[in-house]
Amino acid sequence: MEIAIIGSGYVGLVTGVCLAHIGHTVTCVDNNPEKVRKLKAGEVPIYEPGLEPLMHKYSKMKRLNFSSSIEAATKKATVIFIAVGTPSKKNGDADLTYIENVARAIARNMDSYKLLVEKSTVPVQTGNRIERTVALNLPAKFRRGNKCLVEFDVASNPEFLREGSAVEDFMNPDRIVIGVKSRRAEQLLREVYAPLKARLVVTNVATAEMIKHASNSFLATKISFINSVAQICDRVGADVLSVAEGMGYDRRIGRAFLNAGIGYGGSCFPKDVDAFVRLAEKSGYDFKLLKGVRDVNEQQKASFIHLIEDKLWIIKDKTIAIWGLAFKADTDDMRRAASIDIIQALQEEGARVQAFDPKAMDNARHELKGVKFCADAYAAAKGADCLLVLTEWEEFKRLDLKRVRGLLRQAVVFDGRNFFDDKLFVDLGFEYHGIGRGRGAHAS
């Protein structure tokens, strides 16, 4: 099939590469000329495990092409995925400017049947908006009064991939959700995904959009729930890791997304929870549960900072080592990373921060000022009064902790991800503080 993807970021590029991998011919479009130049030159602008070799393979075979022209891509393809950003506005609403721009541009270049597919995460009802926008922007020859003289469909196909395992998630999805209004659209999307042999959930457009809202918000709820449990664990001497394990064996609950830590970050959960709260508000429902989820997430960062203040005493002029800046491991993405809020709060109190992240330092330089970015994890630890583990990079587990102990001025570690076995540190004479491990600030 001839497919176009508009927006070649984390989702669009992975989608394009994976659709080429399963046999389609794909054009990935982006309006950022620098990004398109890099992609054409074979440079992958993001870090995503497994993406680069596939991108090179299918670019060479010409099954994967890059372009800055929506016009050409629209003319060539029948199925057009929209994968542009839908960032938060100040009031929490999703900003759909990029979606509208793309819908207009596609409409203006339509000359035959097209299926426009929402891949971006959008508020429920956006499908209707896109449909209207396309109808209003068709070339004059294809419009008579309210009638469109060229057929098109708008479908919803929300994406559930996670950064850091995006290729794997795309190729082996738990389910593929397809929201359609016509048999034709359903058939086309079934054809697109047939090689994956995945479970399909076929429904109407609004329901598919709602599945995405509900899924992301539910996962965020799981995280805030376990973070709240962790708070109590610290106060009563229970261990949240064992609590999560004990809960997780119950198949009705499951162990996934019960890792307590410094709160969820990234480009999706914070914005998608905000957008769902706003959508509920506009529909006349006060989504108190989800507001609570958001509050707990903010508190979690604040409580981590309080723990550091409590144990370090004076923050001013202390040197703080940071291992990990990305919002999670295996990505270079810094969008809404918890590390940003934590580092900025400590800097405001006068701390000096020296940090290392295996992949996210280039992006972090744009987000964080006054941080000393170090060549490796040892350099970050050198002379510091404590060490903060903010991202769970597997390679940190291979570090020589004895050497780290010798480099730190004070052997105090705050593990914001409960990533390390606390005994490893304690046996080496470190003071170790995890999240909800029952030995935290308030443990009896």
Of 50-58, 144-152, 255-263, 381-389, the segment contacting ligand UDX by CB under 6 A is 255-263
Tell me the closest approach of the beta carbon of residue 382 to ligand UDX, in angstroms.
27
Cα separation, 386 vs 396, in Å, equals: 16
* CB 83 to ligand NAD: min, Å: 5
Supply the minimum distance, in Å, between the C-beta of residue 180 and ligand UDX.
20
Q: Is 219 in the site for ligand UDX (CB under 6 A)?
A: yes
Binding mask 166-205 toward ligand UDX (x if CB under 6 A, else -) reads: ----------------------------------------
Q: Which residues are catalytic?
A: 268
Residue 296 or 384 with smaller CB distance to ligand UDX: 296
Residue 211 · residue 205 · CB < 8 Å: no
Minimum CB separation of residue 419 from ligand UDX in Å reads: 11
Angle at 430 between CA 427 and CA 433, to 5 degrees: 110
159 binds ligand UDX (CB under 6 A): yes
| Two structure tokens written together for 14 | 């992975």
Report yes or no: 117 and 157 within 8 Å, Cβ to Cβ.
yes
SS3 category, 431? strand
Nearer to ligand UDX by C-beta: 257 or 378? 257
What is the per-residue burial (b if ≥16 Cβ within 10 Å, else e) of 82-108?
Answer: bbbbbebeeebbbebebbbebbbbbbe
Minimum CB distance to ligand UDX smaller for 160 or for 378: 160
Per-residue tokens: 280: 């509920």
Q: Which residues bind ligand NAD (CB under 6 A)?
A: 6-12, 29-32, 35, 83-86, 98, 101-102, 120-121, 159, 161, 163, 267-268
Nearest-angstrom CA–CA distance, 14 and 92: 27
| Residue 98 contact partner, candidates ligand UDX, ligand NAD, none, CB within 5 to 8 A by sort of partner | ligand NAD
9 binds, among ligand UDX, ligand NAD, none (CB under 5 to 8 A by kind): ligand NAD
Sign of CA dihedral 417, 419, 423, 426: negative
- Crossing angle of helices 269-282 and 288-312, in 10° steps, is 140
412 lines the binding site for ligand UDX (CB under 6 A): no
Partner interacting with residue 258 (select from ligand NAD, ligand UDX, none; CB below 5-8 Å by kind): ligand UDX
Give which of ligand UDX, ligand NAD, none residue 264 binds (C-beta under 5 to 8 Å, depending on kind): ligand UDX
- Residue reference for tokens 């229970």: 238
Draw the binding track, 260-279, toward ligand UDX (x: CB under 6 A; -: no contact): -x--xxx-xx----------
State the binding partner of 269 from ligand NAD, ligand UDX, none, CB within 5 to 8 A by kind: ligand UDX
Q: Measured from the CB of residue 119, what is the shortest distance to ligand NAD in angstroms?
A: 6
Give, as ranges, the residues between 326 and 365 that touch ligand UDX (CB under 6 A): 327-328
> In which residue are the tokens 């102990």 written?
405
Touching ligand UDX, residues 198-217 (CB under 6 A): 216
Q: Tell how strand 412-415 and strand 2-6 pair up.
A: unpaired
State how far the Cα of 21 lies from the Cα of 24, in Å rounded to an integer. 7
Helix (H/G/I), strand (E/B), else coil: 66: strand
Q: Which is nearer to ligand UDX, 40 or 175 (CB)?
A: 175
**Structure tokens, 68:** 């800055």
Enter the DSSP assignment of 433. Answer: E
For ligand NAD, the closer of residues 163 and 392 by Cβ is 163
What proportions of the chain, in percent to the nearest 5, are helix, strand and coil?
Answer: 45, 15, 40
Q: Mention every residue, 6+ apart, whose C-beta is less than 8 A from residue 7.
A: 29, 30, 82, 83, 84, 85, 98, 102, 120
Q: Determine the distance from the C-alpha atom of residue 369 to the mean position of all C-alpha atoms in its chain, rounded to a whole number.
A: 23
Q: Residue 259: which of ligand UDX, ligand NAD, none does it interact with, CB under 5 to 8 A by kind?
A: ligand UDX
**Site for ligand UDX (CB under 6 A): which residue of 5, 223, 293, 377?**
223
